[in-house]
Structure 1
Amino acid sequence: MKNNVRLLSLLLMVFTTLSFQSCNDNDDTEKTATINVRMTDAPGDYDAVYVEVLDVMIKSDANPDETGWVSIGTAAPQVYNLLDLTGGVSALLASDAVIPSGHLGQIRLVLGDDNSVVKDGVTYPLKTPSAQQSGLKLLVNKNLEAGYTYDFLLDFDVEKSVVVQAGSSDNFNLNPVIRVSTVANSGIIKGIVTTTPPGVQVLASVKVNEEVVSAYTDAEGKFQINGIPAGAYSVTLTPDATSGLQPKIIDNVIVQNGQVTDLGNQSL
């Protein structure tokens, strides 16, 4: 009888230990979320815009000061031509990064010095202000629930980011203007614009609250506007002013979170 009691006691201890470890494992899993970070572009009137990305970093709210930033970048430093990242194309900067769940206030995009712009066939250096050397802080303000995967899209607005210094036509500064959106909490508007004569560049724009979000068509007439919250919008297609073509407004364009609204082929 004593042996049976001892055996039962031992089994109970083992079961309790395993259960405790299992709960801890589950707790660890439930306290993390997974994020992916991609970069895309709303192009400007340049031949190419090259930007060097060194890293992507995040910081937990547990560190209120400038300590605690953690790298989640997936590749070595790389130079991207932002004008290649249009029409739905994006560059993966961080993949399947497991981070603590909870509130994520900011993502930091760390840029290098190997930045340049090509205009009318001539390459010019893009000067990066010293304040950006530690990384460009992008507001996210997203609560990450445990066990979920979040896809963040960094939409680089080239037209607003490349600034020509006053009094100079060949002195360019890089002052990044980037919109951050979460795929699950926003939608996409895309389409193709055909012009007569062909090849006219068109600006597709949407007004979201007080902000105008826009994207130029690429060489094939394709455009894609990212990070649009669910709702009904008017899309304005504005051709290059020198073309003589008239703008076109498409009303009642419905956007749903996590969905792509395809406007198909639009003619100007």
Structure 2
Amino acid sequence: MMLRPLTYALLSAPLLFAACNNDNDSSDSSKLEVRLMDAPGDFRAVILDVRQIEVHTREESNPDGWQILPFQMQAINVLEYVNGRSALLVSTDFEPGDLKEVRLILGPDSYVIGRDGQRYDLKTPSGQTSGIKLKLDKATLRARETYQLLLDFDVAKSIVERGNWKPGNDKKERYLLKPVIRVVAQDIKGGLRGSVTPAATLPQILAIRSSLTLPDTFSTSADATGAFQLSGIPSGTYRIEFFPTTTAPNGQAAYKNAVRTNISVVNEQMTDMGQTALQ
């Protein structure tokens, strides 16, 4: 399947915003956007064969509530949409009202390119039959407003290596795709960004919302330049933990874990943590 380029945008705007006024436009419809973004993962490419996108507008038990969105099926390399970039999958006029679920139908041609340069097919039985269903909480489209659903795909949790696979076995049988996708709705508008040094540490990063009795945890990775960003996270006070995934070259000081505390995230703002040293 040919890869088609996707439109991407920096997620600096609020997720729910009023449409531009037009005195000649009497339409009472809403505008619905669906975007996809990802946290970096330990692969060269992660290709999702997305065939169809649907939303459900009625109660879960009602099978007639599904509506197909205008989406051209395509293969998407989700690793291209990290650190604030997102792929615009759908932008369409839509009837105001509640959305209950969003569903992705995947085809049989999803795969990864590993660090070894080899292609490994991704088996996704549920994604190719009933689809990947994501529940929405209080998602309401209002007339003459644009509503955005951001699908935050977690590569590290979604791609699972079979326990009995060994080098030399059939490459098609190495990985299973069990998608872990967080849906960011309009009332979750905070963001967090920064960088690490040295960039070669390639750390995993946990953002733990410590202002709750039961803490929320969000994760990402720094890219090859040392930059990282989490978008669409709730406001609150966070503890940020850094875990290098590489080791320092001989003759250099060892890479080390780091913790930053009392990091404040505010709705509709991007908190810049600046630089964090891991050596």
1:200-222 CA-partner distances (Å, limit 9, x unpaired) = 21112112444421111111111
Alignment correspondent of 1:188: 191
The correspondence for 1:83, drawn from 79, 90, 104, is 79
What code does the residue aligned with 2:243 have? T
- Structure 1 portions without partners, runs of 5+: 1-24
Shift of 1:92: 0.5
**Where do 1:11-90 residues align within 5 Å?**
29=28, 32-61=29-58, 64-74=61-71, 76-90=72-86
What code does the residue aligned with 1:179 have? R
Alignment correspondent of 1:221: 226
Alignment correspondent of 1:201: 202
Structure 1 contact 37–93 (Cα < 8 Å) conserved: yes
Alignment correspondent of 2:237: 232
Structure 1 contact 205–212 (Cα < 8 Å) conserved: yes
SS at match of 1:160: helix
Greater Rg by CA: 1
SS at match of 2:156: helix
Shift of 1:107: 0.9
Query: Which of the two has greater helix per residue?
Result: 1
- TM-score, structure 1 length as denominator? 0.80
Q: How many residues align?
A: 237
1:122 has 2:109 as partner:
no
- Structure 2 portions without partners, runs of 5+: 1-24, 249-253
Structure 1 contact 230–257 (Cα < 8 Å) conserved: yes
What code does the residue aligned with 1:258 have? E
The separation in 2 between residues aligned to 1:99 and 1:70, in whole angstroms, is 10
The separation in 2 between residues aligned to 1:58 and 1:210, in whole angstroms, is 30
Shift of 1:193: 1.3
1:84-141 CA-partner distances (Å, limit 9, x unpaired) = 111111111111x222323211111222211111112111111112464232111112
Shift of 1:226: 2.4
Structure 2 contact 30–141 (Cα < 8 Å) conserved: yes
1:251 has 2:261 as partner:
yes
The separation in 2 between residues aligned to 1:252 and 1:185, in whole angstroms, is 19
| Identical-pair percentage | 37
Structure 1 contact 160–176 (Cα < 8 Å) conserved: yes
1:262 has 2:263 as partner:
no
